[in-house]
Structure 1
Amino acid sequence: MQELGTSAAAARARAIYDYGHTAIFASSFDPRFHMLLYVPPAASDGRKIDLLVAVHGTGRTSAIEFRDGFAEFGRYHDCAVLCPIFPMNVRGDGARSGYKYIEEADIRYDSILLSMVEEMAEKYGQDWSRFAMFGFSGGGHFTHRFAILHPERLWAASIGAPGSVTLLDPGRDWWVGIRDVAERFGKPFDAKALARVPVQMVVGGLDLETWEITHKEGSKYWMDGANDAGETRGQRLRTLARSFEAAGVNITFDEVPGVAHDRMKVLDRVKDFLAETLARRRAA
């Protein structure tokens, strides 16, 4: 498309590509990674809005589904939706799951996500020093580990059906526990900061398949204790909830009846949680 130099054409292009359901942007920090957003009309009027980061699962296609699925929520709650895209095979090795564990060789996915938030905050003139995060399946992996590492950046976290969980266990190393978090990630675990974050954990009542989440000895992410949290996603999420609660975190646990591993069928529960949390945040 030929770019026109007139101010009217520039304003029209911004309206089409930068607001509402946006184009896909490459990260300036690392252009291997991308993002797309929903930016509500309030932002174009200069109002201050909040931010929800919604993290895709292993297939990555849910980035678009989440952007579109949360768009109405964002419009009526003055909340932008940012969906990062962490592609498979980013290092040319066919790997699917690196982002779920925060680090992959020299890639720090938490740093990439934070750079995306900062870049978009500057683009839209917003203060997004704190934001909410939702992720389902692989995104649930990322979300609860991000919350462990960066609780001070979150005003809410919704953790959906992760296949494996990191417990707040100081006797085991990452990713099963948190004993070496300070050495590995350059900052200690802050239990008090995490306890200030409202956390939802959500899983389908029929989310019972285990073929993709059972770690085999010798596999890439195998560690002693890799399967100790339970067999199914629901069992593992309840174990994570108990671990967080023991650290003083207030957990809203939602098991959705009749739902298997279906990300779109839990979104209403997530929206209810975020709307209630956002209302309390603004009232305070």
Structure 2
Amino acid sequence: MIRVEDLPAAHPGRRLLTGRTPFFAAPTEPRCSFCAYVPRSWTPEARMSVLVAVHGTGRNVGALREGLIPFADRHDLIVVAPLFPVGIDDPDDVDNYKTLDAHGIRFDLVLLEILEQVRVRWNARVDKVLLSGHSGGGQFAHRFLYLHPDRVSTVAVSAPGRVTPLDDTLAWPEGIGDTQRRFGITVDPVAVARVPVLLVVGAEDDGRADLAAMGDPGRSRPEELDRLAASLTGHGTTIRKVVVPGVGHSAAGTQPPIVDFFTGLLAG
């Protein structure tokens, strides 16, 4: 793998590997991939921090990355946007990554491998990253926090349709009771509580009509977020909850509170 610092300053590879990068295959699961945004101010000495932004069911990775570019430029950090595609071993499976494992793939480990590649290629700081996710990405983000609280400095969870409470009487993904058997990891609520969490949803983001159309009346997204908030705060996590007026199920609509949240933490 080429390290950007090994390329001469005038080499065209520098232009390709800074700014908006191409998509790269994930190291051991090439059906998954990622793109990045690397500020043009990048130098190997900067050891830039990383923000991981996880897409929703629609996989609109380009727009997700694009919306975070001004934030990345202001704070000299790298945006990493993984792509977990539809149709791995099941042509109709749109949900695979949301519960972290499906079809023999551990999507949490895929992300950790991506971060190692980011560390090597850009000499980035990936020991602890900022993590955000919208909709299906919000499902991924809070579950990744449960299994890897030591790898995140803060997490923003936007509009998940389903959540996993910290309930050790229920099996994953309804709870955390069997994570040792399933993942080889016992969730530690004390470690989870050390990570500040933003919970955000649009005020107009109900979501029950979509669920009803699939035969499951379910809970609204605000109700699901309330369940997650109650579980996290009940175990000592410091959360901030934001309901965005006039916004439906929109990654762009919930992104401003996420940027504000991360900005406040970086300033602190």
**TM-score between the two structures when normalised by the length of structure 1:** 0.87
1:181 matched residue in structure 2: 179
Matched, 1:77 2:65: no
- Aligned amino acid, residue 65 of structure 1: A
How big is the shift at 1:27?
Answer: 1.4
Query: Partner amino acid for 1:50?
Result: S
Give how far 1:93 is off. 3.2
Number of aligned positions between the proteins: 262
Tell me how far 1:212 sits from its aligned partner: 3.2
Matches within 5 A, 1:193-204: 193-204=191-202
Deviation at 1:249, TM superposition (A): 0.2
**Could you tell me how far apart the structure 2 residues matched to 1:90 and 1:11 are?**
40
Which of 202, 205, 220 aligns to 2:203? It is 205
User: Aligned to 1:212, what secondary structure does the other structure show?
Assistant: helix
Distance of aligned partners of 1:248 and 1:214 in 2 relative to their CA distance in 1, 3 Å threshold: farther
> Conserved in 1, the CA contact under 8 Å of 2:159 and 2:200?
yes
Distance (whole Å) between structure 2 residues aligned to residue 46 and residue 215 of structure 1:
53
Match of 2:229 in 1: 241
Output the CA distance in 2 between the equivalents of 1:246 and 1:69. Answer: 33
Q: Does 1:192 align with 2:190?
A: yes
The residue number in structure 1 matching 2:35 is: 36
Q: Does structure 1 conserve the Cα–Cα contact (< 8 Å) formed by 2:50 and 2:124?
A: no
Residue 44 of structure 1 deviates from its aligned partner by: 2.9
Counterpart Cα distance in 1 of 2:213 and 2:221 = 13
Q: Give the AA of the match of 2:147.
A: L
Unaligned stretches of 5+ in structure 1? 1-6, 220-225
% identical equivalent positions = 35
Gaps of 5+ in 2: 1-6
Check the 8 A contact 1:163/1:213 in 2, yes or no. Answer: no
Letter in 2 for 1:239: R
Matched, 1:260 2:248: yes
CA contact (8 A) 2:202 2:248 kept: yes
What are the superposed Cα offsets for residues 44-68 of structure 1, whole Å, 9 maximum, x if unpaired?
A: 353121110000011112x111111
1:215: how far off? 10
CA RMSD of aligned residues (A): 1.9
SS of match in other structure, 2:126: coil
Partner of 1:270: 258
CA contact (8 A) 2:98 2:136 kept: yes
SS in 2 for 1:211: helix
Residue 59 of structure 1 corresponds to 58
Equivalent residues in 2 for 1:63-212, closer than 5 Å = 63-212=61-210
Q: Give 1:148 deviation, angstroms.
A: 1.1
